[in-house]
Amino acid sequence: MSEEVSPIYAEGIHVLDVTGNVWLILIFEYRDPKTYYYTLARRDQERLLEELETIMNNMQHFLDEEIIRINNERARPEVKDIILGFRGTPHRPYIEFYINFRGPLKPGVNRYDNFYEEEIAEYDYEILWIFPEGCRVLSYHIAGEGTVLGSTDNILVVHVRKGTRVGAHEWIEFEVPEDVLGKLKVS
pLDDT, tens digit only, all 187 positions of the chain: 567 899 999 999 999 999 999 999 999 999 999 999 999 999 999 999 999 999 999 999 999 999 999 999 999 999 999 999 999 999 999 999 999 999 999 999 999 999 999 999 999 999 999 999 999 999 999 999 999 998 889 999 999 999 999 999 999 999 999 988 876 554 4
pLDDT at 152: 84
Judge whether 137 lies within some domain. Answer: yes
pLDDT at 187: 43
Query: What is the count of structural domains for the chain?
Result: 1
State how far the Cα of 31 lies from the Cα of 125, in Å rounded to an integer. Answer: 15
pLDDT at 151: 83
Residue 79 domain boundaries: 6-186
pLDDT at 92: 97
pLDDT at 4: 87
Judge whether 1 lies within some domain. Answer: no
Judge whether 10 lies within some domain. Answer: yes
Cβ of 176: how many Cβ atoms within 10 Å?
21
Judge whether 103 lies within some domain. Answer: yes
Where residue 149 sits, what CATH number does that domain have?
Answer: 2.60.40
Give me the phi and psi of 56, to 5 degrees please: -60, -45
Judge whether 111 lies within some domain. Answer: yes
Judge whether 146 lies within some domain. Answer: yes
pLDDT at 181: 80
Judge whether 104 lies within some domain. Answer: yes
Cβ of 108: how many Cβ atoms within 10 Å?
10
Cβ of 17: how many Cβ atoms within 10 Å?
14
Closest CA to 149 of 128, 171, 119, 177: 128
Judge whether 152 lies within some domain. Answer: yes
133-165 in b/e burial notation, b at 16+ Cβ within 10 A? ebbbbeebebbbebebeeebebbbbbebeeeee
How many CA atoms lie less than 13 Å away from 12 in the CB half-sphere?
Answer: 14
Q: Is the dihedral of CA 50, 55, 58, 64 positive or negative?
A: negative
Q: Is the pTM of this model over 0.85?
A: yes
Q: What is the DSSP string of 44-87?
A: -HHHHHHHHHHHHHHHHHHHHHSEEEETTEEE--EEEEEEEEES
How many CA atoms lie less than 13 Å away from 141 in the CB half-sphere?
Answer: 10
Beta bridge partners of 102: 21
Task: Give me the amino acid identity at 96.
Answer: E
Pairing of strands 67-70, 73-75: antiparallel
